[in-house]
């Protein structure tokens, strides 16, 4: 019997919902494979258990994840470059006996994944100003920094990561500015202008009024005529809906009391479970 591939949206530390979802899809680690869209941790009830579970499944060879903005925040907090947001429940990770192993594993995870010949995934999406090949190459530039064997290289990057500028891609960008804007496109993007300028304030649903000159990144025609399916999370207010072919959002807003979503690659069927924990985020 051949197993199935499932893309799972932002877990955000919602451990009980994740266990329910694995039951819902009858997950069999000996046959099935899970692809996580990132934001494994943050505001759910048990980020430590969620991170441990996904790490262990990854090591067993039945799961993979991309990095999300909250995962990067955990790295920055762990290395002392960012104060913990009082809404983020990550203290238990940082004080755990296996904290270093968890952090070291997390920083090794990619920003871009090719799920099969016709499917890719990042946390926030792929800007229309980049081809898929460019997106993969730019992601690898940052991955090489985060995965460096020299922690000084990693720390230098994490210390410079939290700025909104530059907000527009240029091939002439170098060093921290270049890496930062790549991170922002792949882990923070929602609205974007035609020239590629990012807008960081809007987090609402598609029915809300958007800042003039900006649209959801997935509403633009792609320059590479991309035939590939793009999976992403990050935008909870979409509740899994983009209304665009080849663009699949699987962030059901679980941490906001909504659903945790899994979409099966083989037939597109969507599975979801309601978060059993009443979170205040």
Tell me the C-alpha distance between 214 and 28, whole Å: 42
Mean pLDDT of all residues in 192-197: 97
Residue whose C-alpha is closest to residue 187's, from 40, 5, 14: 40
Q: At residue 279, does pLDDT exceed 70?
A: no
pTM (2 d.p.)? 0.96
In this prediction, residue 280 has a pLDDT band, given cuts at 50, 70 and 90, of low
Would you identify the CATH topology of the domain 5-274? Purple Acid Phosphatase; chain A, domain 2 (3.60.21)
Cβ atoms of residues 125 and 189 within 8 Å? yes
DSSP class of residue 222 equals P
Print burial letters for 63-76: b (CB count within 10 Å at least 16), e (below 16).
bbbbbbbbbbbbbb
Residue 221 has what pLDDT? 87
Both structure tokens of 159: 């210390």
pLDDT tens digits, 3-46: 999 999 999 999 999 999 999 999 999 999 999 999 999 999 99
Proportion of the chain above pLDDT 90, given as a percent: 88
Of the ranges 54-58, 130-134, 243-247, the best mean pLDDT one: 54-58
Residue 6 has what pLDDT? 98
Sheet holding 113-116, edge to edge: 113-116, 119-121, 229-232, 247-249
Q: At residue 281, does pLDDT exceed 70?
A: no
Tell me the C-alpha distance between 114 and 195, whole Å: 26
Q: At residue 225, does pLDDT exceed 80?
A: no
Residue 7 has what pLDDT? 98
Residue 100 has what pLDDT? 96
Tell me the C-alpha distance between 231 and 248, whole Å: 5
Mean pLDDT score across all residues of the chain: 94
Residues 265, 207, 127, 260, CA torsion sign? negative
Residue 1 has what pLDDT? 53
Residue 216 has what pLDDT? 98
Mean pLDDT of all residues in 53-70: 98
Burial class of residue 210 in the structure, from the number of CB atoms within 10 Å of its CB (0-12 exposed, 13-18 middle, 19+ buried) = middle
What are the sequence ranges of the domains in the chain?
Answer: 5-274
């Amino acid at each position: 019997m051949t197993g199935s591939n499932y893309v799972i949206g932002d877990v955000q530390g919602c451990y009980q919902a994740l266990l329910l979802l694995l039951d819902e899809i009858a997950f069999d680690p000996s046959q099935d494979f899970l692809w996580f869209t990132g934001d494994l941790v943050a505001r759910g009830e048990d980020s430590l258990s969620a991170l441990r579970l996904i790490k262990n499944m990854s090591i067993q060879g039945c799961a993979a994840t991309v990095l999300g903005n909250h995962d990067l925040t955990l790295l920055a907090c762990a290395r002392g470059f960012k104060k913990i947001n009082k809404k983020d429940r990550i203290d238990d990770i940082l004080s755990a006996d296996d904290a270093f192993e968890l952090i070291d594993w997390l920083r090794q995870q990619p920003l871009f994944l090719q799920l099969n010949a016709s499917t890719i995934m990042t946390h926030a999406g792929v800007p229309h100003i980049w081809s898929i090949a460019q997106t993969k190459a730019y992601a690898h530039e940052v991955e090489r920094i985060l995965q460096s064997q020299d922690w000084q290289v990693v720390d230098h990057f994490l210390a410079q990561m939290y700025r909104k500028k530059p907000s527009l891609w240029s091939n002439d960008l170098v060093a921290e500015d270049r890496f930062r804007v790549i991170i922002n496109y792949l882990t923070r993007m929602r609205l974007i202008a035609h020239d590629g300028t990012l807008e960081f304030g809007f987090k609402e649903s598609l029915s809300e009024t958007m800042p003039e000159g900006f649209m959801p990144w997935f509403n633009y025609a792609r320059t590479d005529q991309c035939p590939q399916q793009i999976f992403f999370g990050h935008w909870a207010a979409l509740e899994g809906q983009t209304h665009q072919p080849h663009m699949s959002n699987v962030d059901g807003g679980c941490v906001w009391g909504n659903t945790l979503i899994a979409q099966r690659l083989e037939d597109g069927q969507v599975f979801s479970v309601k978060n059993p924990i009443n979170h205040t985020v």
